[in-house]
Structure 1
């Protein structure tokens, strides 16, 4: 996508011969959307049922079974909670979501019934994305983000959680490798790739249902 975006910018300039199809970006976006929809269908209708046949329960989009909740809470309190870093948002916030990191956008009501909006990190860089629990002859596999979501009342005991929505930002930057360069090529590549963590947001994935006013605030944070 960064290459396509760069080509589109160049095609709009009059001083070069680069031209691309007007519908190229829309076509690429549609292909990506179709792939994501297919992924969801395969996961729900094929992979999860096959796992269950082999007594492996991937808990996805459903409540935690009662028999594993105590184990999950122990794991949350002993391993997960220390890595959580909530950031409250307002119009002046300078929070910069990291590239390809998963976050929760959370809305709260405090004791005075005032709404607060915050971003809560999912510490998948410090902990495994999945947690496994054995119960009898069955195995349960749960997502780290679902563990965090399950314990929001413990994270914010003095407030009412009115909404919780996951989102992720993909950032990118054009690689600028010159024909002539001094030094090691791998070092130059590494420096160029590091720029991508600070690049423009090229993809914004989010859970549906975010209130419009909160969504506008989030967009300003994602791409000021």
Structure 2
């Protein structure tokens, strides 16, 4: 659990106090995340055309002070996983996790890490985190080629067992599933997730990815999605029993 969880924090921000005036770097207070929100450690940000439009405040009612830079990059603390849907855990899974937790705590003790330092590492915290990782983690497959023919590239990486691990990406975790997806998540050169359209996407069309191997038959897909993700797929492909 982050030591700042549920607390107001202070950080640096570029604040706009007046329309068209230079931004001022100063310390601001940030309230803790509310329901369906997550706190991110921002590493870099930039101003887009929308930011400049509201900063200039031309033809609109000025609203200041305000902080721009909604297109940002950063990372989330482990406790932010609470916003993600957890998997349904069987008693056997929980039993295995508890055994793993015991081994983990024992390893920490041998490394001279105090009980106070790992006080957060309870059975409830550990199982909740793993339940969310289990259903939201992406297989990291390093593709060193171009984006061309992504479906074939992804299939080849699976056949070659090119996966190097699993990772949780907060925003991609909110993409919905479709057995006939219009987008695919791929890792290029490193563990940075990239989303690429598989074909032309209409304006306003939802971006959808496939959680499983889309080449499987209807019944196999339904079984895997039900047992692994807890839902029955009703995409157009499944409704046609393709």
Which structure has more helix as a fraction of its residues?
A: 1
TM-score, normalised to structure 2's length? 0.22
Q: More relative contact order in 1 or in 2 (CA 8 Å, sep 6+)?
A: 1
TM-score, normalised to structure 1's length? 0.23
